[in-house]
Structure 1
Amino acid sequence: MTTNSLITNPVNQYIRTSHTTEWNVHLTQESIYNFLLELVQKCSPEDVLREFRKIFLDCLDSAIADSVPGIYEFFIKTNEQDFRNTLKRCCYILVNNWESNRKYKYIQELVDLFDNYKPIRKNHKFIRINTLKFWLENFINSRDFQELKLCAYRHEDSLKVHWVNRYSSYLLVAQAIDKNNPKEQQEVARKISKQLKDKFKFELAMYIARSQSHTSHKNRYHNPSILGDDVLRLIKAIVVKKGAFSYENIANIFLRQTQNQKIADFKDSLLKYLIFSVQQPVFVDTLRSQLAEKLLTWNPGYDGESLNKDLLLRTCNRVVDYLTTENGKEPAPLFILLLSQGHPLTLVIVLLKIILISPNSRSHLESRIAYLMRYYEKYPEEECQWVINFIEIFSITFAIYAENVEYNLIKMPNTPANISPLPMNLDSFRVFSQMKS
């Protein structure tokens, strides 16, 4: 089919010519997807948006009888959920293509089509038309549409959006690993999440370099964190443990020592590993008692089996749940209890230690952070400062321990010597970051 015929021939005709058997919803959906995929690959974004609007929006407002208009004739035979699933995937077919071709502004224009949609004659005299408009409005007011907006939010001023969307890389991870989402949504969510993380890592490294330089003007560098200049001291506290007792080295030692352990013994070893070198006694006591009670009684049927990669992943994922959210809907009691003690960095370090022994648990952890954000988004930002502070520290810590950036503390000359094994006088140290080869 040529470019011109795609524009001039209605999608309904395309669907009918694709049917070789009697009508069914799955064949109709695939025909619509193929039509849009062909359209977005052969036509200009402006033409695609124009056709998309005609297919899903304008046809409802131009209805002059109680017959079902345009593409909706195929969905009135089924249900609202089939329609929503189809519309959702259609959106991501366009978004995924434009994302890959760096035509980012058209993603925003697609979102704007829905945001600016105001149906003509909302209380239409024809019942079926009202029903279809109701379906469309339900989509615009749904979580599905909010997730679609995340693909465009990164191009907006972060101060103008809801506080949750400042951390949209985690929300996108949750979309990327959700098997119920269309493959196009999973793919584009994965790509945008990585771009946002890379951007944060780069800006953080540049901020560190320039903010410590006497030759850099204060207004020339951008702090990607909302913690202000305190972020430098936080970064020093995070990278202070290097050498033989670095988090990476301890994790490697732990993995070697627990090879082929029985799961019952591994659970006990894991608890000791997580609290090793934690300096806050109350935090340690809470973690030891409350986490042990949950973990040691989890899946007792596996206690006699030897540790393998699958059981390591499942166990670490379960510990992540205990420390964040157990049901994906509300914060875990242990999350609230540990943060109420005022040690967000300590909790973040414990989570980091889990990821260092089970890197494949990272997407699971980040999806749990997303679930926590969704829970707290209904509260005003001023009431969520303790959660926001935790997420900021989490983002910085995991950026520092990213696989392609290395941070080091360097003691500056002409500063007092420190007899402590740890550089407690952090002001006498400078942070340096460099890309790993």
Structure 2
Amino acid sequence: MTVMWYKESEIIMGVLPDDSQSELPVELNTKARLLVNESQKTIYTLLLDIVKRKHPSFVLAIFKDLFINLADCMNSTPTRAIHEIVAANNEEVFRNTLKRCCYILVNNWEVARQHQAIRELIDIFSDSVISQRTTSVNLSRLRKWLKNFITSKDYEELKIFSLKHEEGEKGHWSYRYTSYLLVPQYIDRTNPVEQRKAAKTLAKQLKDKFKLDLAMYTARANSVEKENTMPKNPTGLGDEVLNVIKMLVARRGQFNYVNLANIFTQQTQYITYKEFKISLVKYLIFCLNDKDLAMVISAKLSDKLNSLYENHDNEEINNLLLQKTCQHLIEYLTTENHQLPSELFLVLIFQKTPLILVILLLKIVLICKPSRLHLEACIADLIRYYEQFPEEDCQWVINFVEIFNVTFTIYAEDVEYNLVKINNDRADGTMVEWEDYRVFSQLKGEPKADGKVNEKNSL
């Protein structure tokens, strides 16, 4: 649909370039760069204005006329602006303009809960007109750039925003972990600020939904009426998720993960970096029941850490060294090149010990909270690598991500899980039977049954 162009205060843009002129060099000179910057500003201003005041169908029609049809209404400032950008013959500039415009719309429609409009925006790029031949130099160039965009990572990232929360189970298995796939978008400072904001907002929404769904599921799982009122299990672990939660929550007392992290942090405050690296490996494998596996992990991590920043070995450990070291540790345990799984990841996964791997990663984050974003980006890299395989061929990886998701929801969010034994009939010293226990969850800071208040940061 072509629309009558939206009128706004005219910005003097100069004469519209002749569509048949020879192509400009890719590198823009100062004058051309200023002209393109003004043209970009014109389009951004237009979209920011109409997305707040106009119906989505009107906004989508304007967007399509600009970026798909290259409308030739010469009396329109926005039309002249998009012609200036295309005529400048710089695909990167066009791509950045297109991306920012998309995320201006996505952000505003997300706030307004216009999710259908977001899906229709993504669908615009499926228009068959993009593949049609044309004699127009500018339009031909535009369509070539659009086809490149559609096959790019940028478009794959944009498509994530068209997924409804509940569509994760219906589509590709990787959609269930969209909250992690969004992380690389909002930590990449080369992305438009609108894209980073949209990615961060959606990721938080998805994490909050999972957190609430998990708390509701565990709460109702203890109910005698659960057959009729049981909420849907938000994980892919089935009923086994309850045992995973019980194992995680059962680790209380002096040697719980948070206390161990605090003790380690206090004991390593003033030691040298070389001493810190040695202590770090001991901290990570502490309390691992499988001694053979602990030796393997210790040997491989020590080998990696020995040469890491060795020119700082005699310096006192500091926050920067801590964060950089933890980031490298995370990569050793997940993906070192952000494309393929690491050796240690494969060792631990193929030995069917995903919980051990998750606990190692948790212990790293507990001593260096800023490293969590880097960890989630690495998880996204792993998901991206394995999404090329059918779900049935990578159940072991999916199982790891599910346990990771549950573990970090329990330890790093604002819901506290408690374990209560309901069957005291078994004799002391017998093996722990998880069916004798029930899990209870509540927001941190809410009153406990005894009238006391949970500490906000207690785990």
Match among 344, 352, 357 for residue 362 of structure 2:
352
| Cα distance per residue 1:226-277 (max 9 Å; x no partner) | 1111111111112120121110111111111111221111101100000000
Q: Return the alpha-carbon distance in structure 2 between the equivalents of residues 200 and 241 of structure 1.
A: 23
Q: 1:434 to 1:375 in 2, by over 3 A?
A: same
Give the deviation of 1:39 after TM superposition. 2.5
Q: 1:210 to 1:121 in 2, by over 3 A?
A: closer
Give the deviation of 1:337 after TM superposition. 1.6
| Cα distance per residue 1:285-324 (max 9 Å; x no partner) | 2210111100121111111111222221111111111111
Q: Confirm or deny that 1:312 pairs with 2:322.
A: yes
Q: Residue 225 of structure 1: SS of its match in structure 2?
A: coil
| Cα distance per residue 1:177-196 (max 9 Å; x no partner) | 11111111111111111111
Match among 110, 119, 123 for residue 108 of structure 1:
119
Q: 1:138 to 1:210 in 2, by over 3 A?
A: same
Q: Residue 254 of structure 2: SS of its match in structure 1?
A: helix
Q: Residue 58 of structure 1: SS of its match in structure 2?
A: coil
> Match for residue 435 of structure 2?
427
Q: Return the alpha-carbon distance in structure 2 between the equivalents of residues 285 and 121 of structure 1.
A: 58
AA aligned to 2:129 is P
Q: Return the alpha-carbon distance in structure 2 between the equivalents of residues 208 and 130 of structure 1.
A: 57
Contact between 2:85 and 2:94, CA under 8 Å: does it hold in 1? no
AA aligned to 1:8 is Y
Deviates more, 1:266-275 or 1:378-387: 378-387
Q: Residue 401 of structure 1: SS of its match in structure 2?
A: helix
Match among 276, 279, 292 for residue 302 of structure 2:
292
Give the deviation of 1:103 after TM superposition. 2.8
Give the deviation of 1:336 after TM superposition. 1.1
Q: 1:204 to 1:418 in 2, by over 3 A?
A: farther
Match among 424, 430, 444 for residue 436 of structure 1:
444
AA aligned to 1:168 is T
Deviates more, 1:210-219 or 1:223-232: 210-219
AA aligned to 1:213 is S
Q: Return the alpha-carbon distance in structure 1 between the equivalents of residues 414 and 142 of structure 2.
A: 50
> Match for residue 397 of structure 1?
407
Match among 34, 39, 43 for residue 28 of structure 1:
39
Give the deviation of 1:386 after TM superposition. 1.1
Q: Return the alpha-carbon distance in structure 1 between the equivalents of residues 11 and 364 of structure 2.
A: 52
5 Å-filtered alignment, 1:256-405, equals 256-405=266-415
> Match for residue 456 of structure 2?
none
Q: Confirm or deny that 1:74 pairs with 2:85.
A: yes
Q: Confirm or deny that 1:16 pairs with 2:13.
A: yes
Q: Return the alpha-carbon distance in structure 1 between the equivalents of residues 230 and 68 of structure 2.
A: 45
> Match for residue 108 of structure 2?
97
Match among 176, 195, 198 for residue 205 of structure 2:
195
> Match for residue 176 of structure 2?
166
Q: Return the alpha-carbon distance in structure 1 between the equivalents of residues 223 and 5 of structure 2.
A: 57
Q: Return the alpha-carbon distance in structure 1 between the equivalents of residues 425 and 214 of structure 2.
A: 26
Q: Return the alpha-carbon distance in structure 2 between the equivalents of residues 135 and 72 of structure 1.
A: 14
| Cα distance per residue 1:329-351 (max 9 Å; x no partner) | 11111111221111000000000
User: 5+ residue gaps in structure 2?
Assistant: 17-29, 74-78, 446-459
**Considering only aligned residues, what root-mean-square deviation do their CA atoms show, in Å?**
2.6
> Match for residue 65 of structure 2?
54
> Could you tell me the percent identity over the aligned residues?
46
AA aligned to 2:345 is F
Contact between 2:13 and 2:80, CA under 8 Å: does it hold in 1? no
Match among 157, 164, 171 for residue 154 of structure 1:
164
AA aligned to 1:59 is L
User: 5+ residue gaps in structure 1?
Assistant: 63-67
Contact between 2:39 and 2:82, CA under 8 Å: does it hold in 1? no
5 Å-filtered alignment, 1:87-236, equals 87-114=98-125, 116-119=126-129, 122-126=132-136, 128-218=138-228, 220-236=230-246
Give the deviation of 1:419 after TM superposition. 2.4
Give the deviation of 1:14 after TM superposition. 4.8
AA aligned to 1:109 is E
Contact between 1:60 and 1:69, CA under 8 Å: does it hold in 2? no
